């Protein structure tokens, strides 16, 4: 016989799941939306497409987090700690996802949330999230890098807590994605591909993989493969980009805050950080949606494009596993999704008109 108790909803946020690896105590209030525990989806079409018969590729689909991006892992930590430290307000600069996540977690616990975003360069889905979760949204006539400088200055001069990824609790939370991958695969993959913007996430994954290995949960470490967009590739070029450009607005960043962390991840893991063009990003974006049934945003597709590019150069060894982090949901950016030539047709509500349309 089953009892109601058996069906009790188990809380599965990343803090509860991985608390022994996180800087929390019994005093830490846990502000969670049950983030994390995202699926590791086996790629079916991609290995065929790029001629990797004996390589398994997985998508770590972070678009399935509560606000549709990986930022929720870091934000549950940053907001919980802000509350523990009696903060009353938080602030971030954002290309969109950080602000959506900060706004959601802040709204859940009554913290004020201020977000600074670059005018015209943020996907609509992200903008409406921050707005509807009740944050005070301010657009600047400038880019992300300028917004972050302003947020650093304001949070230094006030009691407002900064929740960009230079807040170390963000990295702590985000490292749990690497834990989940090892838990699912039974070991670390040989390669981990990830888009790079402000470089917090590649820093977090590398930290996570290393800590889990030290704890005896894995025997190996992956090569970290980071990908920037060609027009916003400061780490690849070795110098900041004053006017970064790319259709992948989430990673339109010219001077990443965690630059050093990204270099450490690259060098210590024996990996690389490379650039992919907007055309390659767009092809990868369409490929995973149209042939794999996985709808991720353009920035996420940069990592897929990177794996496609490296496969052409025969980079990957036989019999290995590649995990690609798909950082955000495709639903975030409806304007980009609808910007292609294959427009949706509107026809008369008749059998003939509909038949003609679908047979085209």
Residue choice 38, 65, 95, 246 for contact with ligand F0G (CB under 6 A): 95
Q: Does 244 bind ligand F0G (CB under 6 A)?
A: no
- Paired sense of beta strands 56-61 and 321-326, if any: parallel
Footprint (CB under 6 A) of ligand F0G, residues 250-279 = 250-251
**Region from 95-103, 310-318, 341-349, 350-358 binding ligand F0G, contact rule CB under 6 A:** 95-103
Q: Does 329 bind ligand F0G (CB under 6 A)?
A: no
53: helix, strand or coil: coil
**Region from 35-43, 48-56, 92-100, 232-240 binding ligand F0G, contact rule CB under 6 A:** 92-100
Number of H helices, E strands in the chain: 15, 10
90: helix, strand or coil: strand
Q: Does 173 bind ligand F0G (CB under 6 A)?
A: no
Q: Which two tokens stand for residue 263?
A: 């270099």
Q: Which two tokens stand for residue 133?
A: 């979760």
Spacing of C-alpha 147 from chain mean position: 19
- Please count the other Cβ atoms lying within 10 Å of the Cβ belonging to residue 289: 15
Residue choice 32, 67, 80, 98 for contact with ligand F0G (CB under 6 A): 98
**For ligand F0G, what does the binding mask look like between residues 286 and 305, x meaning CB under 6 A?**
-----------x-xx-----
Reference 73, options 157, 4, 136, 12; nearest CA is 12
Between 55 and 227, name the residue whose CB sits nearer to ligand F0G.
227
Q: Which two tokens stand for residue 84?
A: 């523990």
Tell me how far, at minimum, the Cβ of 348 lies from ligand F0G, in Å. Answer: 40
Tell me how far, at minimum, the Cβ of 157 lies from ligand F0G, in Å. Answer: 22
Reference 329, options 130, 146, 68; nearest CA is 68
State the residues that interact with ligand F0G by CB under 6 A: 69, 71, 94-98, 165, 195-201, 250-251, 297, 299-300, 327-328
């Amino acid at each position: 016989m089953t009892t109601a108790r058996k069906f009790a909803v188990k809380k599965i946020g990343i803090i509860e799941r991985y608390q022994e690896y996180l800087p929390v105590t019994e005093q830490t209030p846990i502000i969670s939306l049950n983030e994390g525990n995202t699926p590791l989806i086996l790629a079916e079409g991609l290995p065929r497409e790029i001629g990797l018969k004996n390589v398994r590729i997985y998508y770590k689909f972070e678009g399935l987090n509560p606000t549709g991006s990986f930022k929720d892992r870091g934000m549950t930590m940053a907001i919980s700690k802000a509350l523990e430290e009696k903060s009353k307000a938080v602030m971030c600069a954002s290309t969109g996802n950080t602000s959506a996540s900060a706004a959601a977690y802040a709204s859940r616990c009554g913290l004020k949330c201020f977000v600074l975003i670059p005018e015209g360069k943020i996907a609509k889905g992200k903008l409406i999230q921050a707005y509807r979760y009740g944050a005070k949204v301010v657009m600047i006539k400038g880019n992300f890098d300028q917004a972050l400088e302003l947020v650093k200055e304001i949070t230094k001069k006030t009691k407002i807590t900064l929740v960009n990824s230079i807040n170390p609790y963000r990295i702590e939370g985000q490292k749990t994605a690497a834990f989940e991958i090892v838990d699912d695969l039974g070991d670390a993959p040989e390669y981990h591909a990830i888009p790079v913007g402000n470089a917090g996430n590649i820093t977090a994954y590398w930290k996570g993989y290393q800590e889990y290995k030290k704890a005896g949960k894995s025997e190996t470490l992956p090569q970290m493969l980071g990908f920037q967009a060609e027009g916003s590739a400061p780490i690849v070029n070795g110098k900041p980009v004053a006017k970064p450009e790319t259709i992948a607005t989430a990673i339109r960043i010219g001077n990443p805050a965690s630059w050093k962390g990204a270099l450490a991840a690259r060098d210590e893991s024996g990996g690389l950080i490379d650039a992919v063009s907007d055309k390659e990003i767009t092809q990868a974006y369409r490929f995973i949606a149209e042939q794999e049934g996985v709808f991720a945003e353009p920035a996420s597709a940069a990592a897929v494009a990177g794996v496609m590019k490296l496969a052409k150069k025969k980079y990957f060894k036989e019999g290995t596993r590649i995990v690609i982090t798909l950082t955000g949901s495709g639903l975030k950016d409806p304007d980009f999704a609808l910007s292609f030539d294959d427009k949706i047709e509107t026809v008369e509500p008749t059998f003939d008109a509909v038949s003609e349309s679908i047979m085209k």
